[in-house]
Structures are given as C-alpha cells and as structure tokens.
Amino acid sequence: MLSGTPVITTDFGVFTETVVNGLNGYRCRIHKEFVKAADDCAVGCINHMACRNYALSRFSTEIVKHQYHEYYERLHTLFKDGWYQK
C-alpha cells in the first residue's frame, strides 16, 4: 500500500480493518471475486496516490510511533499504580 500498490486479500481477520474495498484494494471471499479484483487492479481502477495516501495516514512511522509510545507508557504503569496494585 505504501508504494501505491492495491492489495488483494481475503475478507477475514485484520484485513477488514486495513483494506477498504475500491480505495486501497479488494477483500475477497471466493475465487470469482479474486479474479475480478485482479482484473480491476490490472486496468487501474484504483487510484494509486489515494492508496498510498491512505497507507501513509494509517501506517507510516510518523503515525505508528505515537501508538507504540502510548502502548509502552501503559505497560510501564503495569506494576506501579497499575494492574498489580491493590
């Protein structure tokens, strides 16, 4: 996605949260859907810059570093004033 390349994947698991049909790729369940998605991607139905911009807005280092920082800050409080305190 970061390179502007559309994703073709299953419609299960984390992909339902990361792939938006028609914007940055296609989520498929049956063979016929995968074939159609490959054809659509091959003829350029997805805007490559929109795909890249979506990925940058969700998964770039600049965005994710704040999420990791918040997560590690929460872990840091696990033993002090956190889960294991009465």
To the question of pTM greater than 0.85 for the whole model, the response is no
- 54-60 contact pairs (CB < 8 A, 24+): 54/1, 54/20, 54/23, 54/24, 55/1, 55/2, 55/24, 56/2, 58/18, 59/1, 59/2, 60/2
What pLDDT score does 30 carry? 96
Contact criterion met (CB below 8 Å) for 37 and 7 = no
User: Could you tell me which residues come within 8 angstroms of residue 74 by beta carbon, excluding any fewer than 6 positions away?
Assistant: none
Among the residue ranges 15-19, 48-52, 53-57, 76-80, the one predicted with the least confidence is 76-80
Residue 23 pLDDT exceeds 80 = yes
